Every structure is written in C-alpha cells, then in structure tokens.
Amino acid sequence: MSAIFYHDETQQKLAEKTKIEHQKHIARPIVTVMQKAGPFYNAEDYHQKYILRRHSKVLDRLDLTDEELITSKAACRLNGYLCGYGTEEDFLKEVDDLDLKESIVGYVQQQIRKNKRH
C-alpha cells in the first residue's frame, strides 16, 4: 500500500500539492492514500528493511542489532538504494555521511547498476 500519513493540515496540504504536481509528469493515476496519522507500531523484525535483509553481505557488515536496524540512517538509505531508488551519483554524494566500509560501497554500487538495467 502506498500511503502518506500526515499529522496536521500543513502536512496534508503539502502532500496533496506534491501529488498534484507529480501527477502532471506521469500518465497512470497516483493511488497513494492520504490520511491522518494514528498510532504507529513497528512491524515485526523480519519485515524491517526487508530488501536490505536479502543482501546478507551488507547486513552482516553493518553489524546492527534488530533494534538498531530500525533506527539506523545507513540501513534506511541502503534499503532504498538496494530497492532501486536513487542513483549511483546520489549514493556517492552521501556515502561519507553513512560511514560505510569500502566493501559495502562497492557492492551497493554494483547493485544500483544492476537495478538500473532491469
């Protein structure tokens, strides 16, 4: 499910405006649900960073507990890149901030290139 949960009227208006602007650039309708945020519950551990978990080479080198995996900026960003979101250029711009081992950087670059071809 694609969803945006907003906390106040300002966030709601911004989300709606963004949806309208983005819709101008794509043919198929955007079906993202927008609704007021309610209580939030973390998913079970095995759902956390699902794509990253499929890349055990990266996950093992991050050496994070399940709890740390939920809050780690690096894990979040890597999960996105490994899902195919973001470019190699974007990744390289932020790689220093993510404090990654060189072997992880090279592997993620390969995966980004691979995702681009598919």
pLDDT at 118: 63
Determine phi and psi for 44, rounding to 5 degrees: -60, 155
Mean per-residue pLDDT of the chain: 93
Helix (H, G, I), strand (E, B) or coil at 27: coil
pLDDT at 42: 87
Count the Cβ atoms, other than its own, within 10 Å of residue 102. 8
Give the span between the Cα atoms of 60 and 91, in whole angstroms: 20
Instruction: Say what percent of the chain tops pLDDT 90.
Output: 82
Per residue in 39-73, pLDDT (tens digit) is 988 888 888 999 999 999 999 999 999 889 999 99
Residue 27, pLDDT > 80, answer: yes
Count the Cβ atoms, other than its own, within 10 Å of residue 87. 11
